[in-house]
């Protein structure tokens, strides 16, 4: 179990945030001024 608010990722396929009852998984995201991307494409070009 991770503390609430912690980021969990394998750096390639998933990005999720720990919460009280489990995780919130990010499936797509959009940086300001950029197009929406699946999380796999985002992680391929962004280092966390």
Beta bridge partners of 22: 19
Q: Is residue 26 part of a domain?
A: yes
Rounded to an integer, what distance in angstroms lies between the CA atom of residue 8 and that of residue 10?
7
- List the domain range (segments joined by +) for residue 31: 7-45
Rounded to an integer, what distance in angstroms lies between the CA atom of residue 30 and that of residue 12?
17
3-class state of residue 44 by DSSP: helix
Spatial neighbors of 18 by CB under 8 A, at least 6 apart, are 1, 2, 3, 4, 5, 6, 7, 8
Domain count, the chain: 1
Q: What is the pLDDT of residue 39?
A: 97
Q: Is residue 28 part of a domain?
A: yes
Q: Is residue 27 part of a domain?
A: yes
Q: Is residue 2 part of a domain?
A: no
Residue 1: which pLDDT band, with cuts at 50, 70 and 90? confident
Q: Is residue 1 part of a domain?
A: no
| pTM beyond cutoff 0.75 | yes
């Amino acid at each position: 179990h991770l503390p609430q608010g912690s980021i969990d990722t394998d750096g390639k396929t998933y990005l999720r945030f720990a919460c009280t009852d489990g995780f919130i998984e990010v499936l797509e995201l959009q940086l300001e001024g950029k197009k929406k991307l699946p999380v796999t494409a985002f992680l391929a070009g962004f280092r966390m």
